[in-house]
Each structure stands twice: as C-alpha cells, then as structure tokens.
Structure 1
Amino acid sequence: MNKTLKLLKLFLSSLLLFALIFPFENIFASTLDSNSKDFNNTNNLTTISYSEEDYISSKKTYKEISNQTFKQNMNLFNSLTYNLNNEYELKQYIYSELKKCQTKIDISRFCTSLTPNDADYIFNTYFDTLYEYPDIFYTTDSVSFTYSTDSNNFISFCELQITYPYDKDTLNKVINDFSLKVAEINDLYLQDISNPLELEYEIYDYIINNTKYDYENLQSNTVPYISHTAYGSLINGIAVCDGYSKAAKVLFNLVGIDSGIIVSYEMNHAWNYVKFDNQYYHLDITWADPSFDTGKHNYSYFNLSDEEMSKDHIWPNIYPNCTSDKFSFLRKDIGYKSFRLKDKIYYDNYENKIKSISISGDASEVVLENTPSNHLIGYNNTLYIALGNEIKSINLSSKKLASFRNTNSFINNLDILNGILYIETYDSGNFQFDLKTPEDVNCDGIVDILDLSTLGLKYNVKSTDSIWRRRFDINKDSIIDLFDIIFLTKKL
C-alpha cells in the first residue's frame, strides 16, 4: 500500500512538473515560430508582374456567358473574399498614392482576406483605377506586386511597385501641363454650361476637333504608349482609341457625368459609355472622328443603344446594358451636313431647308426655307453655308441671310476650329478667316449693350478668382477692368 502511494505521489509530482514546464516550452516554441515567420516574410517574398494588355485580355467574355452568370460569379467572389466597399476604398487609396507619384504602395490592409489565387483581382483593381481616373496617365503600362502569406495562405503583406517613364522634373512638368490644359478646356468650353447633355456634346465635339488619330504609327505598328493616354489626346492632339476614350473620361469626371470605358479584346478597340436619366448609352468618339474615317464630323456614334452599336461593334458582357433608343434620331434624321450650336443641332437633309432640332431630339423647327447648301457649319450665333462659289451667313437671332464671301471657285469643304473658318476650294486654293470677336462676350453674334452689361457683371474680377472667365478679358491682361470696357464700347 505504501509502495503504491509512493508511486502515485511520484506520478503526480512528475505531472505537476510537466505542467509547469510545458507552457514555457510552448512560449519558447511560439517565439521560435514567430521569429521564423518574420524571417520568411522578409526573405520569401513573391513578386508578380502584370501588364495593361493582360488586363484587357482578362476583360474578354464570350457571348455565351450571360450578364447574369457573370454577375452571379462576381457576387459569389465578393461574398467569399471581398466586398464592394473595400474595393472602392482600395481604388481611392491607389489613386491618392498615384497622385503623389509613389513608387511603392502598401495595400496590405486591403488584402487580408485574399490569397495568392486572387492576384488577378488585385491587378485588375489597379488597372480599373487607371481607367476610372485616366488623369493618371504618367505610369508605365505594367505593374508589379510583392506579397507574402500567413500560415493559412492569406496575404499578410502586399505592396504594389509602380514605375514611371520620366525623371522627376519631367514627371512634374507633364503633370502640371496636363492639369493646366484641363483647366483651360474647362474655362473656355465647359464651365458656363449647366445642362449635362450639352456638356456631353461639348466634350464629344472638343475631342473630335482637337485630336487626330495616330494612323501613321498604327500602320507601322509603332504607336507610342503616350498615344494610348488622355495626355496624347489633350496635349499632343494625337491618340488612338483608348486615348480618345480616356480623354473623354477625364472631362466627364471633371463635370460629373457618370461614365466608363468599354474595352473590346476582340476588336482591339475602346470607347465610352455614359449615363443620362438612368439610361446607359454607347459613345465612340474615335469612329466619329473624320480624321480616322473620311467624312464630316457627325453624331453617328453619339449615345447609341446596344442594338445600334452591335451592328459593327462587339464587347464583353460585363458592361451596363444600353437599351434606350432616345438618340436614334441622330442617325435617322441628321446626316453629315449638320452642326451643333449650344443646345440645338442645325442640318440640311437635302430638302432645301435649314432645320434645327434640340440636342435631346424633343423639338424641331425650320430655320430657313428655300436655302440649299453643300456644306453647313456654325460659330457662336451664326451659321455659314456654302453653295457653289459663295459662302452665306445666317444670323440665328434675326434669321437673316447675307453674303459672307465669294471665292470664285467651287467650295469643296468648310470647317471651323477654335473660331477660324477654313475654306477649301476646287482650284483657287485654301482660305481662312478669323471669326472671333472678343467683344462679343455673350457669344450671340452681335456686339451690343448686352455685352456691355455682361462685362459689367464681371468688373474687377482677376484671373486668380474662382469666377474668372477668360473670354471676358478682352485685352488679355488678367483682369476685367475699364480697359476691357473701352475696347468693347469702340465696337458698339
């Protein structure tokens, strides 16, 4: 009995000793594991690279995959590993860091529920950010990210590595030049327009009038990356389709128009979609540009439905459905002999009549009867039509028709760019006339007391003031003052 009791005491003592020692062993082992884990995080990092071409390829979705199936798959992914709020926050964070030109962006806190299998999603979110905010034009077309994982294979560290194709001084210069250009476009063309639809037309027209398709480089397969950017369109005036689309997106963002960029892998093409009155529409500025496809500037690719667009475009089933045909009148009723002035489109549909229709298609009227024309353009409050050798002007306030110029040769084409009228004749060469009248500050085609009163409302406003408008500064001295009024009264 005593022997048994001694054995029991010995066993209990051993058990107690083991219990006392074991926690310290656990702590020691845990410390070793922790040190080992940190070591692995710093020495066993994985780096992956991804290009914009990979991103575009990932957007490819075959016709047999429906929108519903795609959305179900995305919802399943989001519910398991991510959420839309987190995605929005990640985009905003990436955008803010790219605005600072950071070369390394730690996104670890956004990736704790992701695994290495979600690498494509991380990359796509990065490029989605660039397509949503194309004012970030100054990175290269590829990105890398370095990551490590925890014991459960979830990402514990994740860092994007960004490269820039410029040195620091050049980078600052191109960013500043771009910002100034966007501000200038806003000041001269957009700031005084309150109608969102008119803003869309204005942006569409501006890009067409000021961007040339980079066809020469396309033919030789030497298109520089800058032609794929908004900078190429707005600064260089040369771009390919995604450059056109990104420039439009920058300006749509600026004025608050809900929009996006559609990428078609099958067509190697990009264009925009826009949203108005809860309806989505296709907008292909590239294909509407006569510098790309011969013909006059028109609205054949402005706000199309899916049905209209599918006649010559194909795209992945991942973009908003465009079901409205509200703007089909632009294809049915209005041809190449048309021109928009503010909220109306003027056109000649070969009935010897000059007609107008509102930009929404809701109201139309005859402007002038018995007025045939070969070409029709406009500036401010005046239309210019060409018939044979002669150019005539129509003041839209008085509806008066007057002779403007006789060229003594058949007129092949009329065009207007930034207030300059360009005339191309058959055998008498080409001519140009400056139509700008700085004193016509309200842009109604007449210098009168209304211009003086409009100028008076801006008196003593300086170029540094938020309400500054460049067109009111008649003598270009960065202040609206008595000297501007003197210049204007001389024209009364």
Structure 2
Amino acid sequence: MKNIKKTAGKLFAMILTVSVAVSCVVSTGIFTVSAYTAPKKGKIVYNKTIHNKYSKVENTILDSLKNFDEKIDISSLNVPRSDISEIFRVLTLTHPELYYVNQGFSYSYYPSEDTIASIHPEYTISKSEYATQKKLLDKETERILSLVKEDMTDSEKALVIHDELAIMSEYSTSDYNKADIYNSLVEKTSVCQGYALAYSYMLSLVGIDSELVDSNSMNHMWNKVHIGNAWYNVDVTWDDPINDRPGHAQHTYFLLSDNAIQNLPTKHYDYTISNSANSTKYDNYEIHNFDTRLCEINGEFYGFVNNNSSANKGALLKYKLDSNTYEKKLTVDEKWSAGGNSYWINTFMSLEKYNGVLYFNTSDTVYSYDVKTGRQAVVASDISGVSASSGKLCYGMVLKGDAMYAAVSDSPNNKATLKYIKRVDKDSLAIGMTNYIMISSTNSIEKAYYGDVNGDGEINIADATAIQKAIVGLVNQSEIESINSDVNFDSDITVIDATTIQSYIVGLM
C-alpha cells in the first residue's frame, strides 16, 4: 500500500500580479441559458503546454469542482506534484464560471513517486449560496447578451460587449481581491483580472475565442480576441477610466496589433506572445476616437466623438467598424466651462439607446435623437445639481433599464455623481414586448415581459386572471408583476389590462 502525505498547495488569485505563462486552448463550461445562442462555444486560451499535457486531469477536476466535491481523486492519472498548482490555475482561469473556487487548496501525494493522490479544494461560498448567486449572474449575463444580435459580425459583437463592460463596471481601487466574473458582472466593480475574465466569459457565450494575457512587469491582465483569421489585443480595463466616467467607454485599446499596443504612450510590455497579433487592420481606424458607447439600431452603429484631436469632434457618426466608413448625422456645438472664461477643449457627450431612440447629453440638457427622421428633441433641461453658477455640469448620462441618470461633476477629471432624471417614455411599447427596466424597490434592473403577469414566460389566460385577482385585492403584486400587468401603459392596473391580454391571446391585437 502506498504511503500518502497531505500538504497545502497554495495558488493565490491574481489581483494585480500574475505569473506569465505560454498559451493554452481550453473550452469553457457554459452554465448559462442566454438570450443569444451562438452556433459554437468560444474557447478561452491560457497555458497550452499544461492543457495539452493534462487535459484529462483538467476534465476530472472540472467535473468535481462543479459538484462542490471536497475531495477529488486523481491517483490514477500520475500527476507530478510539481505541476498541480499550475494545472489548478489554468483550469480556474480558463473556466471563469468557477469563481467560487478558492485559489488556495491542499492535496495528498505519494512521497515515493512524488505524484498527486487527491486534491482537496476550498470553496468561497456554499453550494446553496452559489445557487442564489448563479441566478443573479445568469440574469446579468442574459441582459448583456440581449444587446448582441445574431447578424452582427464578430468584431461588432466584441465591440458591444467591450462597451457594456467598460460602462457598467468600475475599477476597484479599495479591494484588490475583487478579481472574478461575479465581482465584475454582478457587483460591477473589479480589478483588471475581473474585467479580463468577464470579457472572455461573455465572448465565449457568443462563439468568439479569446486569450488571457498577463504581464508581471505591468501587474496587469488583458485579452486577445480572435476575429476572422487574426488575433487582436483588447484591454477593457484601460478603456474604462480609473476616475469612473459614467456613460463613457474609450476605445484606445480595442482591436490593436501587438506592435500598436506596445508602442502607445501608455504601452503594454513584457508579456508572452502566444497568439501573435500581427494584423494592423484596425490600428488606425476612427474607432479609437470614440469615447462613448456605440449604439446599434437596425444594424447600424452610432457614436459620438469627443476627442479634440479628431476632425469629427462633437459629431454623432453612423459608423461601420469593419470598413472604417462613417456618415456624420449630427454636430453638437457645445462647450463645457472650466471656470471663468476658460473651456475644456474636448466635449463630453454620452450616448445611450432605448426602444430604437438615441439619447445624449450636453453640459446641461439631455436630448433624444430619432435616427429615422433626424429629429432632435429636449428630454430634460432641469437636471438636479447642474448649473453654470455652481460650476457643476453634466459630463455624461447613462440608462439603467428605463431609468435615466446624469453624471454631474465640477470637472471631467473628478468622480461624477449620478443624478436621477426620469424614466424613458413608453410610447413605443406594446404587449408581448420585452424590456429592461429599473425596479425602484430593489434598485436593480429586471427584464419585463409585458403581459406575462405571473412570470412563467408565457402570456395566457392565467395572466388575465392574475390581474383580476390583483384588482379585487386577493393578491398583492410585486413591482415587476405590476409593471407586466400594465399592458396599456397608463400607470394603472384595471380591468382594461385584463381585457387587453384576453384580446392578445385570441389574436385580436
């Protein structure tokens, strides 16, 4: 009988520093039922040497970690003790959904052969706690995937996900342990590893391969993305300003060659090049001048250019990423006061969309813009906290579901405060439509399906009955149930809503 010893093998989560490794290809385990189903699952790349050598070991460990096993027997796989820490690291990095697995673990081994008998993982949460968190993670994943359309090119899908992560997330300057996809996607604050893991995770769900890239010298992690037949660097973290600017997503580090990212003023260096990014296709494209979200409407992308060095400063462009062609739709002649007779050289418009309508801000007003008619209209001009006399202006705006907020600050270099403005107009809504809305009671974004009162995913007679019970006081509706009940959008739940659902069921609407 073999003699077995037990010891602790510690592998610490990368916060700002990671070990540089060569690349690997590993298929991600997909747990999420998403709004968008890709024809294939994307792969996440990290440490090819370890993966090729120990793919069977990784699969065994992976299945056990998904089951929250306390002991994983790999005695028959002859794994050298010297490799187990790197195997574990590769596995957890290339499967971001294993965020609940502690990077510290212990193992038993055979001293005579110096091979691993079993691994004893540690979990940061219980299986029941994970079930609760998984619902929140899946809900946020589905919301982001709802922004991705099947007919988008891979570069456009990568752009949409990049922009959403940069706008919704904030770099964690106080807790460097926030480094996983739950931190980034649900809690919306993380360090660079959290951004990179979240980006790779979301890309995998839309069928795009990516690589996790790290640099010890930089204490930093970012991504490479496989578009067409080439690899490109993308650094979502560095495209999200440290002093978080709500409504703004830079594109300085989006789809760059190795040569470009290594020679920018804030260059990337000392990283292992496994999948070389040799294509310079996007290096000099206009995309790098946008610092707003690029919003998709009917297959076309729109964004503002605020950069003073661009000939398109202050312009709303209809932009085609893959051909680098654009059409100027609107020019905003606006200045942001820097005090006295001084003005900032850049502009600070943000751009959002809701139900096919664009929304943007100036220094003191929010406007809507209809891309079909070119009509521009004032949405809000009396924004709380904004006034020239106080020196506080609107430096951006964001939509959280249907709730509109202005980013108010005394300087673009200082952290902005989000001020609630209003809910977006519901003129274009109808029964049977879905939308993401702000739930005031929980301060969270929920998916509304107008007419699906009981939340079973269908609109049928049970929903009309649920409304009738609510009207006579037999049940108390939650906020989302009430929103789904108001199918004539008059902010009141009446028998008209029940009748509207009945008409919808029999095809009269």
Is the structural similarity TM-score above 0.5? yes
Whole-Å Cα distance in 1 between the matches of residues 89 and 238 of structure 2? 24
Q: Is the 8 A contact 1:181 1:234 kept in 2?
A: no
User: What is the number of residues matched between the two proteins?
Assistant: 392
Partner-residue secondary structure (3-state), 2:174:
helix
- Say if 2:304 is the partner of 1:347: yes
Partner-residue secondary structure (3-state), 1:207:
helix
Q: Which amino acid aligns with 1:472?
A: Y
Q: Is the 8 A contact 1:209 1:417 kept in 2?
A: no
Match 2:400 to one of 418, 431, 439: 418
- Say if 2:69 is the partner of 1:102: yes
Partner deviation per Cα, 1:150-169 (whole Å, 9 max, x = no partner): 6xx474x5212212234xxx
Whole-Å Cα distance in 2 between the matches of residues 447 and 54 of structure 1? 46
2:276 aligned partner:
321
Whole-Å Cα distance in 1 between the matches of residues 362 and 189 of structure 2? 33
- 5 Å-filtered alignment, 1:388-407, equals 388-407=363-382
Match 1:472 to one of 438, 449, 457: 449
Whole-Å Cα distance in 2 between the matches of residues 326 and 258 of structure 1? 18
C-alpha change, 1:353 and 1:239, in structure 2 (3 Å) is closer
Q: Which structure features the higher share of helix residues?
A: 1
- Say if 2:203 is the partner of 1:252: yes
TM-score, normalized by length of structure 1? 0.68
- 5 Å-filtered alignment, 1:86-485, equals 87-111=54-78, 116=80, 119-148=81-110, 153=113, 155=115, 158-166=117-125, 171-191=126-146, 193-194=149-150, 195=152, 196-217=154-175, 223=176, 225=177, 227-292=178-243, 296-311=248-263, 312-329=267-284, 334-336=289-291, 339-341=294-296, 343-348=300-305, 349=310, 350=312, 353-368=315-330, 370-373=331-334, 374=347, 375-380=349-354, 381-407=356-382, 409-410=387-388, 411-419=393-401, 420-424=403-407, 431-437=419-425, 447=428, 455=433, 470-473=447-450, 476-478=453-455, 479-481=458-460
Match 2:12 to one of 52, 70, 80: 52
Partner-residue secondary structure (3-state), 2:322:
coil
Per the TM alignment, residue 190 of structure 1 is displaced from its structure 2 partner at its CA by: 0.9
Q: Which amino acid aligns with 1:193?
A: K
Larger radius of gyration, structure 1 or 2? 1
1:67 aligned partner:
none
C-alpha change, 1:96 and 1:318, in structure 2 (3 Å) is farther
Partner-residue secondary structure (3-state), 2:185:
helix
Q: Which amino acid aligns with 2:142?
A: D
CA RMSD of aligned residues (A): 3.7
Q: Which amino acid aligns with 2:149?
A: I
What is the aligned-residue identity percentage?
A: 18
2:441 aligned partner:
none
Partner-residue secondary structure (3-state), 2:102:
coil
Whole-Å Cα distance in 2 between the matches of residues 337 and 135 of structure 1? 29
Q: Is the 8 A contact 1:475 1:487 kept in 2?
A: no
Per the TM alignment, residue 289 of structure 1 is displaced from its structure 2 partner at its CA by: 1.4
TM-score, normalized by length of structure 2? 0.66
C-alpha change, 1:143 and 1:204, in structure 2 (3 Å) is same
C-alpha change, 1:102 and 1:282, in structure 2 (3 Å) is same
Whole-Å Cα distance in 1 between the matches of residues 186 and 238 of structure 2? 20
Q: Which structure features the higher share of strand residues?
A: 2
Whole-Å Cα distance in 1 between the matches of residues 317 and 95 of structure 2? 39
Whole-Å Cα distance in 1 between the matches of residues 244 and 159 of structure 2? 20
Per the TM alignment, residue 186 of structure 1 is displaced from its structure 2 partner at its CA by: 3.6
For structure 2, the residue ranges without an aligned partner over 5 or more in a row are: 23-46, 335-346, 411-416, 435-445, 465-483, 492-508
Q: Which amino acid aligns with 1:487?
A: V
Q: Is the 8 A contact 2:20 2:214 kept in 1?
A: yes
Per the TM alignment, residue 279 of structure 1 is displaced from its structure 2 partner at its CA by: 1.3
